[in-house]
Structure formats: structure tokens, C-alpha cells
Amino acid sequence: MTTADILMVLAVFCIWSLLLVNIALIIAGYVYYMEGEVMPEPSLPCKEGDAPFVSIMVPAHNEGKVIIPTVESLLALDYPRDRYEIIVINDNSSDDSAALLGSLQAKHPYRNLIIMNTDAVTGGKGKSNALNIGFERSRGELIAIYDADNTPERTALRYLVADLMRDEKLGAVIGKFRTRNRNASLLTRFINIETLSFQWMAQAGRWKLFKLCTIPGTNFVMRRSIVTRIGGWDVKALAEDTEISFRIYQMGYRIKFQPKSVTWEQEPQTVKVWFKQRTRWAKGNIYVIVKNIPMIFQRGANVVRFDIVYLLAVYFLLLTSLIISDSLLVLHALGYVHTTIAGFSGLLWTLAVVLFILGTFITLTTEKGELNLSNLWLIMLMYVTYSQLWMGVAACGLYQYVKDTLFKREAKWYKTERY
């Protein structure tokens, strides 16, 4: 075998290993969704009686375009009004957020609505810092987090709290977010499919198989005692959701996925904004990987080990394998290198694409209104366009992480443009 053959075999093996893992997660996630559909609708506690007090925190930086609908939807939650508070951390904003929030607060003088306006001295240092500021003011036994562009459905919080209170082994319960502006552009339609297939179906599969999930950053509830014990959010973490998930795992708690709790959020509508957002996510996840690598070698970390190895494989092994395999196929076609298994590799590549399309389309059957022929064509187009951009995102995220580490740059707000 030539050197090119060996590299090709290794790359294809890595790609297919991750593909099979994702297929297993999709199948398990699909089963979990179907079990939820056939089971009788659970009685939802917390509607009457002494419900646990919940502090809902909303970190916001220059969110004037979206913050009012978000707070209004939180005020309208189907949860006892005297049993939750809303804390908006308007963190060093330079837009009209403070005035808008002040007017809204004046309209609801008898609600537990707290507005915290920080300045450049105390705030402006990222989402984690803003959450720590809000947590100091909070008084709930449960802490819920919503991003500033979210409009949760009325029952979202009750589903989360009900699950958490029924099982003392749970440290947090997460819901899911849907794409509110999915019809705004071709990009948002891709994001809608990605969210349903590669985020929420994978979350459902990981809960079904391993009884763990990763906190998504919004629409989740956790125990106050956990935040106190871990000392709050890591201010160096851009992916504060993934980072705090690992610390919850280390404490022996589980994180459950509850798909009936739904919030709707606004997604990027241009490639430039999307690329900046996803690069930040990639850089944040790489920070979490590096921070938690020692857990791979710790006893009793079997379940958590899956997540660490999975993230390592996605951000390092898969990226490298895709670059190697694609480069070799192109160079072989141009006659610059010779590989005897190019034909077989091409066959495996074609089969992988087919599985990608079918698996993605099947996951959409769990959502009303998503099972249509146009989505099938979108998935095909998504593979050759949107999915390929991921390699650039992962590579850029890795580069920025290394650069920030070398120059010891502090975390700051990375503002996603709103519409």
C-alpha cells in the first residue's frame, strides 16, 4: 500500500466510526421521541399549590431589538406568578435596552421583574460574568436561563421544573429551542434542519443511551445548590453551557432532555453572522475539551468519558480526516498522487452521503410541518454547502483558541446580530 492508501484508510475509518455513532444516537433519539408520543400526557405539577421558587435569568448585551418580546413571553409563562422572578442582566449595553426595560417594568409594578444595569467596570465581560452577577441577586431554589432572543412557549418552564422535582438524581433539565425565523433565508432553513437533526435528536439519543445531555445555553433549569457548590459560571468559558454541564456530571448528577419544553429563538440570517457565532461555539467547546481531558483517565468517569471523546473526535479527528480524504480524492483525480483504493473510498463516501440524507430526513418526522419533499431537497443541498462550511468553522475556532491562549485574552461579549 502507498502512503496515500494508508492515509485514506485511516481517514475513512475515522469518518465512518463517527457516522455510525451518530446513526446510533439518531435511532436511540427517535425511540425516545416515540416513547414520549405514545405515553399519556403527564400531569404537570407546579400549576397549583406550593411550587418551587424559580429565578429566571436573562443575560443581555445590546439586545434592544429583541429583549421586550422575550421578557413579555416570560411574564406570560403558565407558572404561579408569585413563585418565580425574572432577572434581566442588561450588561453594559450602549443601545436603548435600559429605557425599554424600564418602561416594561413600569407596566408591571406587581410582578417579580428585576432589571440590573451594569457598566464597563462590573460588566461587559461575557455571558458567564453576567450570569454570576444575576445569581448574586437571585433567591430561587431553582435557576432557569433564557437567552435574550427567546420566546418560550407558555408551558416550557413547568415541564422543566416538573421533571427536575420528580427525580433527585437530576441536576438540570433542558428543553429544546426551535428556529423562530426559519423562513427568513436559505441559511435559516438549513439551521432549522441542523437544530432538529444534529442537536436535539442527538440530545435525545444521548439521554436514552447514557442518561446525560449537554446544557444548550437557554431554556433549562438547574438546582441552585449546584451553582453554589461549583462557585458559579467559569468566566473564561465562551461555551459556558457545555462547561457547566461537565461540572454537573462530575458531581454525580444527570442532565435530562425534555422535548416538550420548547422555546423559539432567532437565528443568524447571513453567513457572516452565522460563521462568527459558530466559530465562538467551536472555540468555547475546544476550551471545555482541553479543560476536561484529564477526566478520560479518571475512574468512575465512564459516562462522561463518552462526551469528552466524542467532542475530541468531532473537533480534531473528524476535521483532520475530512481534510485528508477530500484532499487525496482531489489530488488523485488531478493525477498528483496515486491511490489504489480511490474507487472504494468514493463508494464509501457516496454511501455516507446517502445515510446522511436519509438519517437527517427521518429525524424531521418528529416535528409537525417538517416532513415534506422540499426539506429533502434542502438536506441534499445542505450537505454540499452548509455542512462543508463546518470545516472552516472548526479550523477557525481552533486557531482563535490557540491565539487567545497564547496572548491571554479575556472573555468578552460576542454579540450575535439581531433582526
Which CATH number goes with the domain that contains 243? 3.90.550.10
Looking at residue 47, its pLDDT comes to: 53
Domain-embedded: residue 289? no
Residue with cell 452565522: 274
Q: Is 145 within a domain? A: yes
Q: Assess whether pLDDT exceeds 60 at residue 265.
A: yes
Q: Are residues 101 and 244 in the same domain?
A: yes
Residues 205, 315, single domain; the answer is: no
Domain end point (choices 212, 247, 267): 267
- Angstrom distance (rounded) from CA 32 to CA 94: 44
pTM of the model: 0.89
Q: Which three cell numbers stand for residue 201?
A: 435528536
- Which pLDDT belongs to residue 413? 59
Q: Is 412 inside a domain boundary?
A: no
Domain-ending residue, one of 267, 291, 309: 267
**The pLDDT of residue 154 is above 70:** yes
Residue 245: inside a domain:
yes
Q: What percent of the chain has pLDDT over 90?
A: 48
The answer on 175 and 63 residing in a single domain is yes
Residues 6+ apart with CB under 8 A from 91: 59, 60, 61, 118, 123, 124, 129, 130, 133, 413
**DSSP E strand boundaries for 195-269:** 220-223, 254-265
pLDDT score at 363: 86
116 & 229 share domain: yes
Same domain, 245 and 367: no
- Does one domain contain both 230 and 319? no
Residue 371: pLDDT over 90: no
Are 147 and 219 part of one and the same domain? yes
Residue 108 located in a structural domain: yes
Residues 244 and 327 in one domain: no
Region 233-248 average pLDDT: 87
Are both 93 and 234 inside the same structural domain? yes
Q: Which residues contact 256 (CB under 8 A, 6 or more apart)?
A: 163, 164, 167, 170, 172, 173, 174, 207, 211, 213
318 DSSP assignment: I
Containing domain of residue 254, as a range? 52-267
Same domain for 57 and 24: no
What pLDDT is attached to residue 124? 81
Same domain, 131 and 172: yes
Mean pLDDT over 343-357 rounds to 79
Residue 397 included in any domain: yes
Residue 106 lies in a domain: yes
The reported pLDDT for the residue numbered 231 is: 92
Exposed, middle or buried by CB within 10 Å (0-12, 13-18, 19+), for 335?
Answer: exposed
Place 220 in a pLDDT band, splitting at 50, 70 and 90: very high
User: Which has the closest alpha carbon to 213: 225, 223, 201, 224?
Assistant: 201
Per the structure, the count of domains in the chain is 2
Looking at the structure, tell me whether residues 191 and 258 fall in a common domain.
yes
Per-chain mean pLDDT for the chain: 87
| Domain membership flag for residue 214 | yes
